[in-house]
Homo-oligomer: A and B are copies of this chain.
Amino acid sequence: MLKFQEESLRQSVNGALALRHQINPFLDAIFEKGITNICFLGIGGTYASAMQTVSHMKEFTSMEVFAENAAEYITTGNRRIMDGTLLIYSSVTGSTPEIVKAVEKAHAAHATILAFLDNPNPHLRELCELCISYPQNEQLKLFMAADRILFLRHEFDCYDDCYENFDCYLADALISVEQSSDSFAQEFAKKHCNDTLHYFVGAGNQWGSTYSYGMCYWEEMHWMATKTVSSGEFFHGTLEIISRDTPVTLFISEDASRPLSLRVAAFLPKICANYTIIDAADYPLIGIKPQYRGFISHLVTHAVTNRIDVHLEAINCHPMEIRRYYRCLEY
């Protein structure tokens, strides 16, 4: 399989899961002291991850939890980020200017900060209460923090059982998804490599990844135009410009938002003959207990889009790492 390293993927996921030994003692202590609210901070792809973690938590918690965009925070501010706020963010480089300034601002506002920094960055390390440096698996890292808080609040009593289940089966389940979706992904890439505008639709813990897949993968890495819309909003505008040949891809999760996307799935065939459904429920995820499947839907569909990306990159002769403007020009 093109660009697929099974063993390194397995180690990567399992290593991420093991971070609970660092995350949990920290969150347990913070929770003991008391938290007023929780903010997931991000920008671009990390903002998308923040949005989907919030969507996941909202399904279960009565606590105030929100996503904040770093650029907006440093410009307009957000007075809900304060003493008593637990602020959680993830950053690969630790050098995104908006993130650095936002973290400085949240620190000055006395928020308690948990940072996931792929590359440890001395300045950002100083500005947080706990910094965890481990590559990739951003969504899993954020969800692990979210789930621990839900557990502490008695809003997710099966936490131990769930993560024991993930420890045993998650890595292989995701590897399996990549393997079994590869031929579909190649066909998809062949069919859509020349699309002039592709619509991506998703909801719930799938909305962040839908938004990010359009903007951070197709636009930024493939240089292909997309429009993303959430499944609920699809029926309030965007549906009107879908017709027979419009390329539409719908992501369906197994979380509480599933009915929103099923509604789109039921409607699309009436007006469109060029749609694709990527449904997390279609993958066996061997060993994963049914009740926890919804918690990892975004990882399942991400495993599928990973395979699409690899093939699209090859077919379009467009290496995903090149940028023409981002971090190349001043802005």
Interface residues, chain A, with chain B CB atoms under 8 Å away: 37, 43-45, 47, 55, 58-59, 61-62, 64, 66, 69-72, 75-80, 82, 98, 196-197, 203-204, 215-216, 219-221, 223-227, 229-233, 235-241, 255-257, 259-260, 263, 266-267, 270-271, 323-326, 329, 331
Q: Are B196 and A232 in contact (CB under 8 A)?
A: no
Q: Are A236 and B58 in contact (CB under 8 A)?
A: no
Give the residue name and chain of the B residue nearest to A227 (CB): B227
Q: Are A203 and B72 in contact (CB under 8 A)?
A: yes
Task: Looking at the assembled complex, report how far the CB atom of A46 sits from the nearest CB atom of chain B, in whole angstroms.
Answer: 9
Q: Are B64 and A77 in contact (CB under 8 A)?
A: no
Known: A323-B240, A326-B235. A55 touches B76 (CB 8 A): yes
Give the residue name and chain of the B residue nearest to A220 (CB): B237
A-B contact pairs, 9 of them (CB 8 A): A44-B237, A71-B231, A72-B230, A75-B259, A76-B256, A197-B225, A215-B237, A220-B240, A224-B241
Number of identical protomers: 2
Known: A72-B257, A216-B236. A331 touches B80 (CB 8 A): no
Q: Out of B219, B255, B329, name the residue touching A237 (CB < 8 Å).
A: B219
Task: Looking at the assembled complex, report how far the CB atom of A12 sits from the nearest CB atom of chain B, in whole angstroms.
Answer: 24
Q: Which residues of chain B come closer than 8 Å to A331, judged between CB atoms?
A: 235, 239, 263, 266-267, 270
Q: Are B230 and A227 in contact (CB under 8 A)?
A: no
Q: Which residues of chain B come closer than 8 Å to A203, judged between CB atoms?
A: 72, 75
Q: Are B223 and A226 in contact (CB under 8 A)?
A: no
A75, A259, A331: most-surrounded residue (chain B CB, <10 A): A75
Give the residue name and chain of the B residue nearest to A324 (CB): B240
Q: Which residues of chain B come closer than 8 Å to A219, judged between CB atoms?
A: 237-238, 240-241
A-B contacts besides A43-B232, A227-B227, 8 pairs, CB < 8 Å: A45-B236, A58-B76, A62-B79, A64-B80, A75-B203, A196-B197, A219-B238, A270-B329
Q: Are A223 and B240 in contact (CB under 8 A)?
A: yes
Q: Are A44 and B233 in contact (CB under 8 A)?
A: yes
Q: Out of B71, B215, B260, name the residue touching A72 (CB < 8 Å).
A: B260
Complex formed: what's the CA distance from A82 to B260 in Å? 23
Give the residue name and chain of the B residue nearest to A62 (CB): B79
Complex formed: what's the CA distance from A255 to B75 in Å? 10
Q: Are B80 and A232 in contact (CB under 8 A)?
A: no
Q: Out of B75, B233, B323, name the residue touching A69 (CB < 8 Å).
A: B233
Known: A219-B237, A240-B326. A78 touches B58 (CB 8 A): yes
Q: Which residues of chain B come closer than 8 Å to A324, judged between CB atoms?
A: 240
Q: Which residues of chain B come closer than 8 Å to A47, judged between CB atoms?
A: 233, 236
